Amino acid sequence: MKVVTAVNSLAALAQASRLELFKLLVRRGPDGYTPNEIAEKLSIPGSTLSFHIKELVQAGLVKARKQSRFIYYSPDFDAVNELMSFLTEHCCSLSDQDCCPPTSKPLRPKRKSIRQKSTKSR
């Protein structure tokens, strides 16, 4: 997976309504939901829902399938697994270890302590 693809996928999920939509679809699985079912479950207006679905589809995380006269949206589990593999593979790039232990803390830069000088009015 290219970095730009991973960034686009993560950016699509970096919005509360889209994340809720994606979680709903993942819980449902490959059967997916119609837009009407999604709108009802998430209480999202149709035009707003359409925008969020479009963003997830363009990011490659959700796919549409037409069945009879309905369109069903479901997660693209291959794309999700590829994103997870990309993140897992690159999680240790700042570490000298071959693999991050599952209980490791997130990598953060060390903070310098800042001492604030107290100023007294004269």
Domain edges within the chain = 3-79
pLDDT digits (tens, 9 = 90+) for 61-102: 999 999 999 999 999 999 999 999 888 887 655 554 555 555
What CATH number has the domain spanning 3-79?
A: 1.10.10.10
Q: Which tens digits make up the pLDDT trace of 18-71? A: 999 999 999 999 999 999 999 999 999 999 999 999 999 999 999 999 999 999
Task: Assign 2 a pLDDT band (cuts: 50, 70, 90).
Answer: confident
Residue 116 reports pLDDT greater than 80: no
**DSSP character for 31?**
G
